[in-house]
Amino acid sequence: MQDTLIVADPAVMMGKPVVAGTRITVELILEKLAAGESIQDLLAAHPRLTQEGILAALDFAKKVLKTDLVYPAPGSPHELASR
């Protein structure tokens, strides 16, 4: 069921992955959690968001990062050389 909670539609948020039935992107959830907001903070700020949706976003991000693509870390020598 978690797989169906994250969807991407070119007509919604320029195709970025969002929690189904919302315009809340996986990216936004990760940014807010990384900034120190709690799951409860996110739920209070976004009434249509559920804990299940947040966990699905984290699971989606984990799966994306497990792919064979390599993303240089910000400030890494590889990233600086490509500028």
- The tens place of each residue's pLDDT in the chain, 83 residues long, gives 456 899 999 999 999 999 999 999 999 999 999 999 999 999 999 999 999 999 999 999 999 888 877 767 777 665 555 55
Amino acid type, 20: A
Check which CATH number belongs to the domain holding 54 and give it.
1.10.10.10
Range of the domain at 52: 2-81
Q: Which residue has the tokens 């976003």?
A: 57
Give the pLDDT confidence score for residue 12 in this predicted structure: 94
Q: What total number of domains does the chain contain?
A: 1
Q: From residue 72, how far is each of 9, 26, 60 by CA, in Å? A: 27, 20, 19
